[in-house]
Amino acid sequence: MSANDGKMKTMFLARSKAAIVHPQSFYKAWLIVCLCAGFTSFTTATLAEPGSVPARPTINLAAPEKAFIQDVSIRVLRKAYDKLGYQLVVHKLPNLRSLMSANRGEYDGEVSRIANLSSIYPNLHAVPTAINSIDIVALGQQDSANIHGIEDIRNDPLCVRGIIIVEKLVSANRIECHFVVNINQALTMLSLGRAKYTLLSETNARISLLHLPVSNVQIVSPVLHSEALYHYLHERNLSLVEPLDKILSEMRSSGEIEQIRSDYFDSIPNWAGVSSLQ
């Protein structure tokens, strides 16, 4: 019998005698003793539990919803943050709201976007190593003329609001674009013949065509433009930029990032069997 057991036994005997003389006060005092003993045992067991793992800090990132290329970036960042000792949680939002919310500090950063966004979103800072890339293609009806370059699109194409790379691309080429709110709307309007072309990332285009109930729409161009994607952190997390960049740089050098990207595309039905027009 341990010393603690002996003390409890002595206390029990003493309290038992007291119960005969003062029963009401005894039960009140004994209840307090039991509660304290239970709390002490619970606290001790909780603090000293062998093999317990302390909770890891969490990074909350915003990402545009239904932007499938972001799924590659999320896989890369999940592995990188795990190596850094963080748990990653991603919150998918409408395209433009995702950037604005991250810039306001409602989240710790943005999963991935093109370079040089700090002039528009000054609170977001890019981690220097690119974690992904985005390829832009044109979509149209099956009888549309094939597009060989961005300069071939002049008939008021549809652009999804918040896809910054497309907004910059049409602006640089002086193309008038009719903006819609999401990919579903763009492809539906194409299918109904209300527009001739839309510009999307190849990943979004292929996955959307697999799953959306639209007909008579296909990719009608080769890749028209490619850009690297970078992870952005809110300025309150600047201390993470350097250690995270070191991990991402190592992942890129070892081929780990490219392998994650390759595995993702291999998981998409018919991706290997269907290529953009050359």
pLDDT in tens, 113-156: 999 998 899 999 999 999 999 999 999 987 777 788 988 887 77
Closest C-alpha to 126, from 41, 245, 12: 245
pTM: 0.72
Contact criterion met (CB below 8 Å) for 13 and 6 = no
pLDDT for 141 equals 87
d(CA 259, CA 262): 5
pLDDT for 213 equals 81
pLDDT score of 36 more than 50: no
Strand 225-234 to 132-141 pairing? antiparallel
Closest C-alpha to 138, from 225, 195, 219: 219
Contact criterion met (CB below 8 Å) for 112 and 165 = no
Using DSSP, state whether 201 is helix, strand or coil: strand
pLDDT for 42 equals 39
Least confident of 11-20, 137-146, 207-216, 246-255: 11-20
Closest C-alpha to 134, from 235, 206, 195: 206
pLDDT score of 258 more than 60: yes
d(CA 58, CA 66): 23
Amino acid in position 37: A
Buried b / exposed e over 182-200, threshold 16 CB at 10 Å, is: bbeebbbbbbeeebbbbbb
Closest C-alpha to 231, from 81, 78, 128: 128
Extract long-range pairs of 87-91: CB within 8 Å, 24+ residues apart. Answer: 87/56, 87/57, 87/58, 87/59, 88/58, 88/59, 88/61, 89/58, 89/59, 89/60, 89/61, 90/60, 90/61, 90/62, 90/63, 91/60, 91/61, 91/62, 91/63
pLDDT score of 247 more than 60: yes
Q: What is the mean pLDDT of residues 164-179?
A: 89
Q: What is the mean pLDDT of residues 182-187?
A: 90
The number of residues making up the chain comes to: 278
pLDDT score of 15 more than 80: no
* CA torsion angle 246 135 225 116 (round to 10): -40
- What kind and span of H or E run contains 241? helix 241-253
Q: Which residues contact 263 (CB under 8 A, 6 or more apart)?
A: none
Which carries the bigger pLDDT value, residue 157 or residue 32?
A: 157
* Dihedral over Cα of 146, 150, 155, 159: its sign: positive
Tokens encoding 190: 């194409």
Contact criterion met (CB below 8 Å) for 124 and 103 = yes
Least confident of 30-34, 187-191, 207-211: 30-34
Contact criterion met (CB below 8 Å) for 67 and 235 = no
Q: What is the mean pLDDT of residues 236-249?
A: 98
